[in-house]
Amino acid sequence: MADPLRHRMSSRVLDPVMSTPARTNDDPPAGPIPALDDRWLRSLSTDLVGRPPYAAERERWLGKPRAPYVAALLATEEAWRHWLDEQLYYFMLIDSFRPVGTSLDELPPLLAKRAMTPRDALHRIALSTSFEARNPGADTFVTVVMEQLCGIEVQKSKRELEIGKAAYDGDGGLFLGSRATNQSDVVRIAATHQDAARHLAEREFERLTRSTLSKRERARTGKRLHRAPREFVEVLTEWLASDAYAQRVALGAPLSNRNWVRAIYVDLGGALPSDDATEALRSALDGLGDPVPLRSAIVRMLLDGEGTRAPRSGDIGDPGAWVDTTFSRLLGRAPTADERAAFVGAASTGADGPEIVLYTLVTSEEYQTS
Amino acid sequence: MLRTAAAGAGAGALGLNAFAANPLTPLRAGLQTKHIVLIVMAGGVRSRETFGSPGNVPNLVSLADEGVLYTRLHTANLGHFGASMSIVTGISEARGIRDNSRAPDPTIFEYVRKDLGLPASEVWVTTSGGAQQVNYAYGLHPDYGQRFGATTLDGDGIFNEEFKGLVARMGTPRPLSDRDSSRVEDLRRVLRGGRPADASEASRARVERYILDELGRGVTEMSGAGAGDAKALRLARNLLSVFRPRLIGVVLQQADIAHGSFNGYSEVIRRNDAAIGELVNAIKGDEGLRDSTSVFVLPEFGRDSDLNTRRGLDHGDGSDDLRFVHGVAWGPDFKRGKVVTDDRRTIDVMPTVAHMFGADARYSKGSVLKESFA
């Protein structure tokens, strides 16, 4: 029997667009123009807006060049809402510390219009009451600012920490090379420091490509973002055209619990869950070292629920075509011959056949690492 | 719809008792211990508010009277996450306060599972600190890692009111019927290219069933100051009775309310002491656990000597109040009423647990607390 993962990998590796070297927007395209297949569409959509593509988006973009799709996504408020959520999660501003109905809600439209830079957005996050509540006291606050914004290991920078703590409490001092006399100064100096630009480059590259930025690239990109923070979108665009990102698409990447919740609602019901439902489910899944058991239970709940209920066998038309489309839509690939035979057989057996097929696919490891 | 097993079945009817371990033998010759509960009273707890104020912690005082009390466990102020992680890895290593990643070193849970060949249902961690704390389950060491990790539940995460409300609205998902399980497994085998399922699938099915069952119990309703910690301790108590695992780690967190409220902090300590008392009473009242279960309790570090301007307590002054904590070892193999006043380290507890299980904590930097044994 054919190994489906092997099939998936080999078909990816042989794809000529996979070997396209990293390019900048200024370079002319080399070789075939990278086009969107289901796998790329799903990966880019998940990474940039935190959900799979809707049916209409899939219809519109499949087979089209990748670059305009990336540009279109990065110009949406939805992409920056997702970026902001990722940052809030990074700062652990979740659950009872999640900012709701605050001035941070203003950030996504400003970021989408490029009227604000991500650096400024991070600065605003660190000034928020949620950040203050999450990191109470001078020691915790200054430590987290240094660690999370600048990537500094405070145990090796104790003097800087003490100066920052003194400034937090209202005493003056030279913090990270600039004069600080209060808590606001500490945040501003850290957020605009060159280490912050370098750290942002490092962690955003890792978030998108699931690989590590080389030391040289980290320094180069950090310097670029420090000098020109507005170029963040161009940097993201270059990364998404890189070999590192192509590798991430080929290998798949584990879906975070938040993205999984959003994916399962879109894939089963064609629409996102409410923010409250997303958070309740995300929080529950985050409470497990291995979320797979609870994910399976949630899928069963949804397959029997209003709006996400699985179709009956009489509703799917030609089972073969339905299985082909379902594989492409959910796994980003065609079924192998063995898979097609087995899944078409299952879809055609009993009125609940399609439900069995959907349950099997969305609880598979492959779906959860898409 | 997917056919499910009989609705409303309780733990017994679902066969959970069948998942409980068979009668166990002690793991190390000469010792009676078969189960260990390691409670990390994290969040930063000073000795002044525990054994320095016995009225706050009557249950811990009783535990110490019947076991061994350490009065000077040296800690490292590595942030809550790093300091708690150091207790389960036996290595003091700097970690970011909001780091949400695994440690490079193996944890006690991995050593025990690997060396003893235990399934995931034998080693658990319950926590109260949310997403970050599931990282205690396992590290990234290539010889250990996820396949030897603990099964981890965060009490406040899974058993939150919002999730329970959602489940109530949509209908509690029930286990698959045997027929549908078989249909799904047939398809999964095809997706795996014909390979059989590994042991983790059966283990996951057990965990799924336990969670659905637990949602119907009282854990979700717990509220008030320190409710997350109380949930973690209640879960540990329930897990002990259902699975009778070899090892349970409990990592608390909510004492950190002290930054802004000394009174709230004291209340969390009192509530946690009461919950630890309930846990120990459950052990003492269970014939299968009372003479074979050992308990360790220790904070990850203390707090500052003086109140801050908000009349709370931070943790960063480098004082002895911050750097030294009390800890307790209780169980059938420990001396009774012994007080150790010499300096020891919080990272010594982990190799001691490993020693009692006959596991080799080969990368730990701590030492076995030999003087505690009878």
Tens of pLDDT, residues A65-74? 999 999 999 9
| Site from B166, B180, B189, B311 to mutate, A interface, most A CB atoms within 10 angstroms | B166
Contacts of B96 in chain A (CB under 8 A): 144, 147-148, 153
Q: What is the mean pLDDT of residues A280-307?
A: 90
Q: How far apart are the first and last CA of chain B?
A: 59
Q: Please report residues of B whose CB lies closer than 8 A to that of A94.
A: 130-131
Minimum distance, in Å, between the CA of residue B333 and any CA atom of chain A = 31
Where does residue B179 rank: exposed (0-12), middle (13-18), buried (19+ CB within 10 A)?
Answer: exposed
Q: Is A297 on the interface with B (CB under 8 A)?
A: yes
Question: With an 8 Å Cβ cutoff, are B2 and A300 in contact?
Answer: yes
Are the beta carbons of B94 and A153 separated by less than 8 Å?
yes
Confidence class for position B96, pLDDT limits 50, 70, 90 = confident
When mean pLDDT is compared across A150-154, B104-108, B118-122, the lowest value belongs to B118-122
pLDDT at B62 over 70: yes
Report A:39-98 residues touching B (Cβ under 8 A): 89-92, 94-95
CB contact under 8 A, B259 and A287: no
Per-chain mean pLDDT for chain A: 90
CA distances, A53 to each of A46, A83, A277, A365 (Å): 8, 17, 20, 20
Query: In whole angstroms, what separates CA A368 from the centre of its chain?
Result: 14
Question: Which residues of chain A does B196 touch, with a Cβ-Cβ cutoff of 8 Å?
Answer: none
DSSP E strand stretches across chain B:
35-40, 68-74, 123-127, 151-154, 247-251, 293-298, 324-330, 338-340, 344-345
Asked if the model's pLDDT at residue A19 lies above 60, the reply is no
Task: Look at residue A158 and tell me whether its pLDDT is greater than 60.
Answer: yes
**What's the pTM?**
0.86
Dihedral angle, C-alpha B194, B198, B203, B209, nearest 10 °: 0
Chosen for mutation from A8, A155, A295 (greatest number of chain B CBs closer than 10 Å) is: A155
At B172 the pLDDT is 78
Which pLDDT belongs to residue B160? 77
Q: Which residues, listed in sequence order, are joined to residue B302 by a DSSP beta bridge?
A: none
The residue among B91, B98, B102 with the most chain A CBs within 10 A of its CB, best to mutate, is: B98
Asked whether this complex has an ipTM greater than 0.95, the answer is no
Please name the member of B3, B94, B98 whose beta carbon is closest to the beta carbon of A92: B98
CB distance A8 to A15 below 8 Å:
no
The per-residue pLDDT for B157 is 77
A214-235 pLDDT per residue, tens? 999 999 999 999 999 999 999 9
- Per-residue confidence band for A192, with pLDDT thresholds at 50, 70 and 90: very high
Partner residue facing B130 (CB), from A94, A153, A169: A94
Distance CA B209, CA B10 (A): 10
Judge whether B301 and B323 are in contact, CB under 8 Å.
yes
- Please report residues of B whose CB lies closer than 8 A to that of A147: 96-99
Residues B42, B253: contact at Cβ < 8 Å?
Answer: yes
Contact residues on chain B for A169, CB-CB shorter than 8 A: 309
Task: Give the pLDDT confidence of B126-178 residue by residue, as tens digits.
Answer: 999 888 888 999 999 999 999 999 999 888 777 777 888 888 888 878 778 88
The pLDDT tens digits of the residues spanning A86-102 come to 999 999 999 889 998 88
Q: Is A205 helix (H, G, I), strand (E, B) or coil?
A: helix
DSSP label at residue B25: P
pLDDT tens readout for residues A227-279: 999 999 999 999 999 999 999 999 999 999 999 999 999 999 999 999 999 99
Could you tell me the two tokens for B208?
């799924």
Q: Is A344 on the interface with B (CB under 8 A)?
A: no
Indicate if the pLDDT at residue A16 is higher than 80: no
- Chain A residues with CB under 8 Å of B207 CB are 288, 290, 293
Residue A13 confidence (pLDDT) above 60: no
Cβ neighbors of A276 (< 8 A, separation 6 or more) are B162
